[in-house]
A and B are shown apart, each in its own frame.
Chain A
Amino acid sequence: MVTIFGKPLILLYGQLTLGLINGAFYALLSLGLAVIFGLLNIINFTHGALFMLGAFTTWALLNYAGIGYWPSLILAPIIIGALGLVIERVLIKRIAGLDHLYGLLLTFGLSLIIEGLMRNRFGSSGVPYEIPSVLQGATNLGFMVLPRYRAWVVVAAVVMCFFTWLLIEKTRLGATLRAATENAPLVQAFGVNVPRLVTLTYGGGVALAAFAGVLAAPMNSVNPNMGSNLIVVVFAVVVIGGMGSILGSILTGFGLGIIEGLTKVYYPEGSATVIFVVMALVLLLRPAGLFGRAT
């Protein structure tokens, strides 16, 4: 048997695949965070809570309205995105232009409220959600058994990341958005309604989190704390990728998923910390992150 550092190669293939799957998740979540940071200059700590709400909305649609997984994939992001619009208009707008600290604190407080309310209503042990019947079962790849659902998650995440990137980098709307990131007053002077653009961007970023939430519902425990565990990691991904860099957060998401996956083989205890080791190293060597521009 071929081994690398004492671990069978065949096992490593499996771990790399799993790392990629997790990476797809990180990419999707950090993408939303990066989009929001890029335009609003807000570190959206509510992201984890909104991710959780996405998963719960999926569950609620099924249990209260009989709406299944596939429609939820579109409906849940729309519902949570709409909630995001409200949050931006009512709360975040008021602290525009202030130090990062205030945005962080506001969104942190907000996530405490959301998670607390959900715990009061639904308890902490969570609710069950089944994998849609088409995607049940698994395919044997030879080196590992790949559940069809996981394969779907990677595909869905990659497609979503690609379209978001396309939207921001290659369309007129995206160009306006990038311009507003650089110089909002100037874009406003050209007749663009920047405040509305900002609100929509926040809604869009939040919808991405909700989309990830829908994807997560069948494979993770749907419980009110599911987002708070992820947020710090996703946040680290954004920093390593370069704050506000779209491509950076996508690529870093995948990269870190793989690094984390390998750590789980060689030193599982350290798999949560390895991301912070990478973050410290990157920030010391490349101050603005891997793909960020120095300011």
Chain B
Amino acid sequence: MFAFTRAQAIAFAVMVALILVAPTVLYPVFLMKVLCFALFACAFNLLIGYVGLLSFGHAAFFGMGSYIAAWTAKNWGLSSELAILAGGGVGAILGVVTGWLAIRRQGIYFAMITLALSQMVYFFCVEASFTGGEDGIQQVPRSPLFGVIPMQSDMSLYWLVAVVFLAGFLLIHRIIHSPFGQVLKAIRENEPRATSLGYRTDTYKLVAFVLSAALAGVAGATKSQVFGIATLTDVHWSMSGEVVLMTLLGGIGTVFGPVLGALVFGSLETYLAQFGDWVTVTQGAIFVACVLAFRRGLIGELAGRLGLTL
């Protein structure tokens, strides 16, 4: 039903196995962060990899998802699944507005409109009182799942995050391989031709944009549940840049690339921290190396060498 190729099916099995085994080796909170970033990158990849639209404003959806989930969980006591859904919902609503405006333009101008709109969202978050400004929304409780299953321990939350990630991942894969996804790819390859075949390309693009934004919102909402905070970092334009980096690092337009990219990126951010002032230099060097040496991304290069689709 998910139209995996053989290689993809194996890779998927490996990924699921790793998700199951990883928390015994690695720190669960770190893994949860990686899974949130991975879902975010997959959502972003849906746009750039399959519709060919480079959004430079995805932080707006991620960040607002994070704020809304944190706020509703803290002030209304929403259970975690509802808080996450609320985050996704806000992502979708913002996606409708941004997408409706942005899809009128192409290429770099599309990227710039999304950047401009996300900067306005950032400004809103700085000024609005409910976000707590620079301090953010702090001490968000890890609310129980369905209002009954406690989520206090890292491991129980980890399984929830893993399920959310896998659901999002499979949903994206399903979308890409549906007839709808085929039209998206046709638009990416040749938009005038798709139009001449009678497809309302704008509608398709908008729907893809909204889906991507909604999933980004879910990712942000999940992250706020993990850390118990929602702050301006998540809506800042550098977050939009980071998701581009993750996707590119793993491989644009590959199914597993964004996941690996998020893992590498998250590891860099967390484990380079102990090297103090060399963090940014090392990050910079990796990006430069990535562009010069393996432009198709880690998974993209790997798949290319092996002649597989991953």
Binding site for B on A (CB under 8 A): 43, 91, 94-95, 98, 100-102, 105-106, 108-117, 119-120, 232, 236, 239, 243, 269-270, 272-273, 276-277, 279-280, 283-284, 287-288
Contact residues, B117-140 vs A (CB, 8 A): 117, 119-120, 122-123, 126-127
Interface assignment of B16: CB less than 8 Å from any CB of chain A: no
Please give the distance in Å from A120's CB to the nearest CB on chain B. 5
CB <8 Å contact, A109 and B109? no
The CA of A272 and the CA of B237, in the complex, are separated in Å by 13
At the interface, yes or no: B6 with Cβ under 8 Å from chain A?
Answer: no
Chain A: which residue is nearest B281 at the CB level?
A116
Contact A276 B288 (CB under 8 A): no
Chain A interface SS verdict (over half): helix
Q: List 28 A-B contacts (CB under 8 A).
A: A98-B295, A100-B108, A101-B54, A102-B291, A102-B295, A105-B245, A106-B287, A109-B283, A109-B288, A109-B290, A111-B284, A113-B281, A117-B281, A120-B278, A236-B112, A270-B123, A276-B115, A276-B116, A276-B119, A277-B120, A279-B115, A280-B113, A280-B116, A283-B109, A283-B116, A284-B104, A284-B105, A287-B105
Which residue in chain B gives the minimum CB-CB distance to A232?
B237
Question: Could you tell me the distance between the alpha carbons of A87 and B38 in the complex, rounded to whole angstroms?
Answer: 33
Q: Which residues of B contact A110 (CB under 8 A)?
A: 284, 288
From B105, B108, B116, B117, name the one whose CB has the most chain A CB atoms within 10 angstroms.
B116
Choose from B101, B280, B285 the contact partner of A280 (Cβ within 8 Å): B101
Q: Check B292 for interface membership: any CB of A closer than 8 A.
A: yes
Closest residue on chain B to residue A114 by CB atoms: B284
CB distance from B173 to the nearest CB of A (A): 23
* CB–CB A105/B291 < 8 A: yes
Interface residues in B55-94 (C-beta closer than 8 Å to A): none
B241 at the interface (CB under 8 A from A): yes
B: which residues have CB within 8 A of A?
Answer: 54, 101, 104-105, 107-109, 112-113, 115-117, 119-120, 122-123, 126-127, 237, 241, 244-245, 248, 277-281, 283-288, 290-292, 295
Given A101-B54, A106-B287, A112-B280, 11 new contacts (CB under 8 A): A43-B108, A98-B295, A105-B244, A105-B248, A105-B287, A108-B284, A112-B287, A239-B108, A269-B127, A276-B115, A279-B113
* Contacting pair B288 A91 (CB below 8 A): yes
Taking CB atoms, residues of chain A closer than 8 Å to B245 are 105
A-chain residues with CB within 8 Å of residue B295 when the two chains form the complex: 98, 102
B280 contacts A115, C-beta separation under 8 Å = yes
- A109's partner among B104, B117, B285 (CB-CB below 8 A) is B285
A91, B116: Cα distance in complex, Å? 29
A91 to B285, CA, bound (A): 12
Nearest CB of chain B from residue A88's CB, rounded to whole Å:
14
The docked-state distance in angstroms from the alpha carbon of A279 to that of B111 is 12
Cα separation A168 to B122 with both chains bound (whole Å) = 38
A287 to B102, CA, bound (A): 11
Contacts of B115 in A (CB 8 A): 276, 279
Residues of B contacting A232 with CB < 8 Å?
237
Q: Indicate whether A106 sits within 8 Å of B292 (C-beta atoms), given known contacts A112-B280, A280-B117, A280-B120.
A: yes
